[in-house]
Homo-oligomer: A and B are copies of this chain.
Amino acid sequence: MLIVPEREIGALMTRASAFEAVEKVFAAMASGEAYNFPVIREAIGHEDALYGFKGGFDRAGLTLGLKAGGYWPNNLAKFKVINHQSTVFLFDPDTGRVAAMVGGNLLTALRTAAASSVSIAHLARRDAKVMGMVGAGHQATFQLRAALEQRAFEKVIGWNLHPEMLPNIETVAEEAGLPFEAVPLEGMRAADVIVSITSSFAPSLMAAHVSPGTHLACMGTDTRGKQEVEAALLAQATVFTDEVAQSVSIGEAQHAVAEGLISEDDVHQIGAVINGSHPGRRSDEEITLFDGTGVGLQDLAVAAAVVDLAVEKGIAIEVDV
């Protein structure tokens, strides 16, 4: 089997490669060639940790396996290691033998950024100029960096509940040579694309804060009860997601569905747009909204890509098991 340690991922994995892997597996999910297994997520009653498994199989890419790990809230304070810890295990789908083990921490950040970036590529207006960020934590920097590559943006605007964190994303805008402006939520009306990446349990972005023609990627809601945007916004928008079942149960769409504003049938797979079986954006006035819930197949796809890159560069550790 091959091992790609966490420390190697940064030098190996590119945003382009993550984009390609995630786009491909979203397409395979929509065509029925790839599916995610039920997610296991357990509060284990030790160190306040959440631990679990996200697995799946992609018959097109022949990628089988799981991401295992979770959230250890005391890690940083107690052990000086990051709180989100995960590892991806890939199996040979022909024999069931373990094929690879890949550090999953940076990959998780990259695949989450790739997801909103795939949604921008396929759903934002071609002439989008203003990029809006709701949220300015560590993950927001990944989302913004990937988003800025999808259109010829001329400006970044940002809002965060704690404004002292805005320099995180301001730095990314500067790196891309773009001006940055901190705005109140009302200021998001100027954005052509908005990525929200918060861990909020109440909506920040309201329908009145979003202009016609905007593309939104809501990336923060992955648990029952979390919410980033007003449910009414989903009723006004054409809603896309990675996986419909997750979107309506633990994703941003859970609230609009629960309130009867939209039904499960109103939530479309982004993969259908990639495959061409859904037209995607139909006008410059349409609001499109991508509900990114995060699926195991994304993790497997980027992990498989990184294994290929590691083999190419002679970095993969081979262990005879």
Contact = CB atoms under 8 A, between A and B. Distances in A.
Given A37-B40, A91-B69, A85 B57 contact: no
Interface string A85-112: 1110101011111100101000000000
Contact of A40 (B53, B86, B91, B95): B53
A320 B51 CA distance: 22
Contacts of A161: none
A170 to B, nearest CB: 32
Contacts of A86: 96
A51 B57 contact: yes
B91 A96 contact: no
A42 B37 contact: yes
Contacts of A71: 96
B93 A64 contact: no
A94 B66 CA distance: 21
A182 interface: no
B96 A69 contact: yes
Interface of A: 3, 5-6, 37-38, 40, 42, 44-47, 49, 51-53, 55, 57, 59, 64-66, 68-72, 75, 78-79, 81, 85-87, 89, 91, 93-98, 101, 103, 317, 319-321
